[in-house]
A and B are shown apart, each in its own frame.
Chain A
């Protein structure tokens, strides 16, 4: 032991500012060690801030029909021949500025992606934890439901849920409701992966002696699950979540393409890619490449952050 026995009994619990404690923490320290992580964080922050502040940052409002002109349609990026300085990344077939459309689209994509991943994560982790810890008939029931759901493609489940909700609410509803339906249908179709991962790890952890020690102390099962098992199974779940964020954004794009997602008046990143895809062969490559690059950049940066987070949260690698 490096510390002499006459050291003070415990580190002084002097009240410190949250910022100060964060700057002193191990997680922050490991963050500053890797330039790749910092670059990924910078890119993510840039994209998220750009998306969140789209109405302030974007040069045009792509939803303001009065400011659009068909004469501006299919203008190439500013550095190409025939490019215009006011449309940095060019325009689409309706004369909307691509840069503005990407910023607004990313806003919708990010919101739907993050919310549906959070929903799937919460649902899957809770069910997996209970399933693995309690076991028996409850475990069998939850896992058979998961098996049945896994035998359908996730997109089909999402379509089904979307259809049921639309049937209940009627066809007429605004973009806000469409967004919530998207979040619910994507979230409910992705919980299985979390549940299975968490259950498998819970089965391993629940038989470890530290869980038995907690049981001897007399802690109720719910506290053992939350305090002891959960921190030891949550690492891989976070990595799955970052990868799933990309899949959720793509699923949302597919649903939008199939006409059950966001209405065409408020396109998401996925809708933009699908929209531009039809013009790829006519030479207007910027209409699909730029939204695609934005999506790829977002997904890559978030994945790198997830990787770092997994390592930073593992005390053995500190």
Chain B
């Protein structure tokens, strides 16, 4: 089997949220463990999705994967190269071109003062991929056509476009450097439902024709089901379950995954009574001891309150799950 394109091992990112300077000087530190020991591997050409409630650390993983944040612990490798290399701008040029990101907010991700052609051409110019105005203009026109806009739209400003069109521009910019790996941080959550499907289908088509690998961050399970090959479920900075998309949706093992799947609105279930979701997400600054999910878990026992579960292979062999109850066969 070929080695994975992207591999995270023990990946962690903590933020220092010590409230005052005095507390800091006294050596007191409050850490927000946004991501706390996450392992995953993404194979070339597949879409790996991360799902979870807001605040579970999905977006932090996305920023770690493109080098916007440096990991506090652990590492993330891209095609065998450690991404902490990205700090050295000169040596990482070739590496940078191969990763790109699509952002959540199409209204903030495009510089309002730049014309669309300049926005899309930026990676080409920054990496020196093409020489000459004519060649760059032709390439930009080609990219805009590829994402379903007209080449002549390059002369306009971002505010002249709708949210969906802006997201297409964002995709065109991401593709400009001919990357292999795209990190998509909730790319459709700011869009209308009708436009969401268009953007998702565009991304799927591009993946097929360009052989792209996606890390797809979302809180929308329906979108994940449509897009992903494999899914990782995150809860309070940890992966609780990783599995192929079919397995995960058909036979979820972790109690949190089941809870998430139960909350998907479904026409055939309308009118049926539903169990209310118990509890809130605890604060990541002071996570509960043991398994972080135990205060909301219907299967929690003493062991769950004391001991954090490790990720173990699922019984059916596809992926991992971190749950004492599953391990003990109580689930």
Q: Smallest CB–CB gap between A209 and chain B, Å?
A: 4
Residues in chain A near residue B104, CB distance under 8 A: 209
A216 touches B66 (CB 8 A): yes
Mask, A294-318, CB within 8 Å of B = 1, is: 0000000000000000000001101
A217 touches B177 (CB 8 A): yes
Residues in chain B near residue A5, CB distance under 8 A: 145, 150-151
Binds A, one of B122-130, B198-206, B321-329: B122-130
Residues in chain A near residue B100, CB distance under 8 A: 216
B-side interface residues, number (CB < 8 Å): 47
Q: How far, in angstroms, from A11 to B114 measured CA to CA in the complex?
A: 16
Residues in chain A near residue B86, CB distance under 8 A: 218
Partner of B99, one of A1, A216, A228, A232: A216
- Given contacts A216-B66, A216-B67, A216-B99, whether A7 and B151 have CB atoms under 8 Å apart is yes
B126 touches A316 (CB 8 A): no
Residues in chain B near residue A10, CB distance under 8 A: 117, 137-138, 140-141, 151-152, 154-155
Residues in chain B near residue A212, CB distance under 8 A: 63, 68, 101, 103, 109
Residues in chain A near residue B151, CB distance under 8 A: 5, 7-10
Residues in chain B near residue A1, CB distance under 8 A: 149-150, 153, 165
Residues in chain A near residue B152, CB distance under 8 A: 3, 7-11
- Given contacts A9-B152, A216-B67, A231-B113, whether A210 and B108 have CB atoms under 8 Å apart is yes
The closest CB in chain A to the CB of B161 belongs to A1
A228 touches B138 (CB 8 A): no
A213 touches B173 (CB 8 A): yes
Residues in chain A near residue B150, CB distance under 8 A: 1, 3-5, 7
Q: Smallest CB–CB gap between B119 and chain A, Å?
A: 8
Mask, A224-255, CB within 8 Å of B = 1, is: 00001001100000000000000000000000
List CB contacts (< 8 Å) of B120-174 with chain A.
122-123, 126-127, 133-134, 137-138, 140-141, 145, 149-155, 157, 159, 165, 170, 173
Residues in chain A near residue B127, CB distance under 8 A: 217-218
Q: How large is the interface on A (under 10, 10 to 19, 20 to 34, 35 or more residues)?
A: 20 to 34
Q: Is A219 at the interface (CB under 8 A from chain B)?
A: yes
Q: How far, in angstroms, from A191 to B103 measured CA to CA in the complex?
A: 36
The closest CB in chain A to the CB of B100 belongs to A216
Residues in chain A near residue B96, CB distance under 8 A: 216-218
B111 touches A316 (CB 8 A): no
- Given contacts A216-B96, A217-B127, A231-B113, whether A11 and B68 have CB atoms under 8 Å apart is no
Q: Smallest CB–CB gap between A298 and chain B, Å?
A: 30
In the complex, which of the residues A1, A10, A212 has the most CB atoms of chain B within 10 Å of its own CB atom?
A10
Mask, A202-226, CB within 8 Å of B = 1, is: 0000001110111111111000000
Mask, B45-73, CB within 8 Å of A = 1, is: 00000000000000000010011100000
Q: Smallest CB–CB gap between B166 and chain A, Å?
A: 11
Partner of B92, one of A7, A213, A218: A218
Partner of B126, one of A208, A218, A231: A218
Q: Is A13 at the interface (CB under 8 A from chain B)?
A: yes
Q: Is B93 at the interface (CB under 8 A from chain A)?
A: yes
B66 touches A210 (CB 8 A): no
A209 touches B145 (CB 8 A): no
Partner of B113, one of A11, A213, A315: A315
